[in-house]
Structure 1
């Protein structure tokens, strides 16, 4: 097993219980600085709206701030929900980021709203915009970022002619097929939707067509990991993740909860079964346990890179988790 396969970080800029929004942003900034030193390749932020526990709604603004506080780690969106925006605006925003932080910007795109239906309508202002025009919006965005726009009437300034890598994100087979057709790198969201992972990966690899951006498939698998000095501590810290999935299933988007010693008092038997199924790819344990499971995941999926999300309440525990993983993986 090649232990040098890249590891990266997905961060939702979580607002944990007992922390303000300003503190949440500061916590994520410190995390980005830490994982840069630990040797992680990317730090990505995801667009969500109307979530009381997530502070990454203005994704490009957060990325600009993180970029100013770091030196070399690639920063990007994991992702921008393109149907929520005019492609020209996204081209301008990420063109600006690329101009500020050259050769450090990734533009990851999704087609889901990143919110509930009512908020989606407030964002998109069109009851018929269900994201089905995502492929056309992608083509438009690619055009605005290309050299083709140089002599045309509308161009993204900054943006046109910049070499900003575009990634497609997905939790189903749709984006896997589109990424293959367009010759783009693909990121699968097994951290919250593992059911279609195997099928999506097979479709991506089987149908990939080389492009100017990418000559052969490049796959990132995103998973949840909690790493600690003992398995018992990791299992305890991971109850924050279990609670978060439980509350989301109930339609409650409360702030990221503290870990608990008694999950059995919080969920019904059928709820536990459902949450265990959704989190079956999550890795909770010591560095050695996490390393072994990472190796098996890479072997099973042929992933070129693994992106790690950590649903942990205490920011210091979170940084320590990433540090422990880096030491067993990179050293």
Structure 2
């Protein structure tokens, strides 16, 4: 490992899991949910801190569209790991509905639920219209929606009484995170003193500017007295680098189909991507997936430490779009070994 100035070691920070509950080519959503619960149970055993599911719609390869429902499924099948959203796309929903859903989850699984919020639609514009109907929200009113949602979690007395109440939800202490891939949510999270999670796994170029903006904007709150930043990172780990690189072609095919506007289920790995992408497409994918970490135990260890040195993150959230479930489990197990999660 090359010599760098390390303020933090991998064993000093928390590691968590981001799951899109991938639907595999030849598989079903039922299969995906079984795999999701299996991964969550293993992640809990290996010492991961939290397990988040992402809201996407009209995506043939992603099963977690009804995110709150899948969170309940995972929380019900695990015992200690925190379970939450990475994230709920708030402009798609009435804040009251989300307050009630997460109030219900927190009532069922006390002290284990996280509410990560984003302002993107998590889908295409036509589907966003189908979700939002006549609300015409384009995400610009996200700060107002966020304030409304957070107020539903406060006691009625704390907000001077109100006619509309979230029950369950009112009076519950559910951690709220802001998620982002640009500076908007970074600055808002800092100003409100909330924890911030950045989508480095698909927006690597914006990572350092957004983290810097978050930290410079941070104002202490009753939630946090200092900034707390989490970064998403794609990690495809295997026992050999050759195997890892082959496994990573499923993720590469997924993004290739997205930029071609042809989303499909997660495809099996291939020996080479050269016959599938053009030089332009390869460059576009490299820009979007440039921070992905692919390799064996030693290679992943070095690259993860380099990424930590660069970001000084407080937590990393690992995503792994791997077709074979056993290989996916092994990838997360290798990261747990690297990070010495079982203290």
TM-score, with structure 2 as normaliser? 0.95
- For residues 239 and 160 of structure 2, what CA distance do their matches in structure 1 show? 54
- Displacement after TM superposition at 1:274 (Å): 1.1
Q: Is the Cα–Cα contact under 8 Å of residues 16 and 313 in structure 1 kept in the other structure?
A: yes
1:149, distance to aligned residue in structure 2 (A):
5.1
Contact conserved, 1:150 with 1:160, CA < 8 A, in 2? no
310-319 or 288-297, which deviates more = 288-297
Find the aligned partners of 1:262 and 1:152 in 2 and give their Cα distance. Answer: 60
1:194-233 matched pairs, under 5 angstroms: 194-233=204-243
Matched, 1:98 2:106: yes
Contact preservation (8 Å) 1:87, 1:138: yes
Deviates more, 1:124-133 or 1:14-23: 124-133
* Residue in 2 that maps onto 1:5: 13
Unaligned runs of 5+ in 2: 1-7
Q: What is the match of residue 131 of structure 2?
A: 123
Contact 1:239 1:263 in 2 (8 A): yes
1:208 CA displacement? 0.1
Deviations 1:192-238 (A, max 9, x none): 11121111011000110011111110000001000000011100100
Tell me by how many angstroms 1:150 deviates. 8.0
2:67 aligned to which of 59, 76, 88: 59
Q: What's 1:18 paired with?
A: 26
Unaligned stretches of 5+ residues in structure 1: none
Mapping for residues 284-323 of structure 1, pairs under 5 Å: 284-323=294-333
Matches of 2:297 and 2:169 in 1, distance apart? 41
Aligned partners of 1:198 and 1:98: how far apart in 2? 33
* C-alpha distance 150-290 of structure 1, shift in aligned 2 (>3 A): farther
Structure 2 matches for 1:135-284, cutoff 5 A? 135-147=143-155, 148=158, 151-284=161-294
Query: TM-score of the superposition, structure 1-length normalised?
Result: 0.98
Change (3 A) 1:259 1:177: same
How many residue pairs match? The answer is 331
Q: What displacement does 1:146 show?
A: 1.0
Structure 2: how far apart are the matches of 1:216 and 1:307?
Answer: 20
DSSP-derived class of the 1:159 partner:
coil
- Per-residue Cα deviation, 1:244-292 (whole angstroms, up to 9, x for no partner): 1111000011000110002100011111111112111000001221111
The 4+ residue runs of structure 1 with deviation greater than 4 A are none
